[in-house]
Amino acid sequence: QPTMLHWLSPLLTTIPVRAEQAGPKHVIMTVIDDLGYDDLGFRNEGQILTPQFNRLHSQGIDLSSYYVQPSCSPTRAAILTGRKPLHTGINFWLPNIAAGLSLNEVTLAQVLNRRNFTSHAVGKWHLGFHKTPYTPTFRGFSSFYGYYEGSEDYYTHVTSGGFDFHDERAPFCGPGCTQRPWHLQGQYSTNLFTARAVEIISQHNLSSRLFLYLAYQGVHAPRQAPAAYVEPYKKGIADPVRRTFAGMISALDEGIGNVTAALAARGMFADTLIVVTTDNGGPTTECSTTGQSNWPFRG
């Protein structure tokens, strides 16, 4: 069985595998919004229960000197271009204005597509939407299921006074193609994004490779989690803020378990590189906190 590297930097360029194998066939890039250094079970001595993340961590590589930008859009631009903010021009999180990742930039999805990958994006975009060409399906992704802005309500999917949820099932999916799934109001976004990721994996044509950019909304503000995920922490975590936050993490952990189970069911797991990263660590001066911890670091 090939060596599996599940916990890798998106900047990694060489992968040790068997001599007869050119590399992993599939890539799952998982971005957890505003995750702090001390927020997964393998770091916080099990305060927050994350058996799925713990399993991937134990089987993979933990990059202890891996750094991200201090806010979300600069890191996302760097992940999807391989270029620093100095070059992308995305130096700060993008507010609701006419701005976005330059159309001159070539994205990771566009590069991988030339190498027999099919690319899909799920979750948070936050790299521009003021003009249709800035949206995901015009940047190399064959589908997009998620929201364009930087944050929104986990249940109503409303931000800045408007409904921001888009279901786009084809490349270059602009006006007349993009759908607004109003019927999803009331459903928790973490679970919706996991379900879409599982659907993509289950329906993937194995004649091509899969690149899935899975950019969860969790654990960005607002602090929201279904009661079923918070209940297990009722006795173990006294702080109600951290307790609800733990529920948000548990929903993500369940999601990662469902994604890896879907990969295994298709026989893809052993041939998949799974990357897990935060975008900017637990917020301190940028955005807003939902209960994160960056201990033992100060930032």
Q: Which residue numbers are catalytic? A: 72, 126
The CA-based diameter of the chain, rounded to the nearest angstrom, is 54
Reduced to 3 states (helix: H, G, I; strand: E, B; else coil), residue 120 is strand
Contacts 24+ apart (CB under 8 A), 141-146: 141/109, 141/171, 141/213, 142/118, 142/170, 142/171, 143/168, 143/169, 143/170, 143/173, 143/200, 144/120, 144/168, 144/173, 145/120, 145/121, 145/192, 145/193, 145/196, 146/121, 146/122, 146/193, 146/215, 146/217
Nearest to 283 by CA among 70, 79, 77: 70
Reduced to 3 states (helix: H, G, I; strand: E, B; else coil), residue 209 is strand
- Is the Cβ–Cβ distance between 183 and 243 less than 8 Å? no
b/e per residue 90-109 (b: at least 16 CB within 10 A): beebbeeeebbbeeebebbb
- Is the Cβ–Cβ distance between 73 and 127 less than 8 Å? yes
Side-chain-side CA neighbours of 31 within 13 Å: the count stands at 27
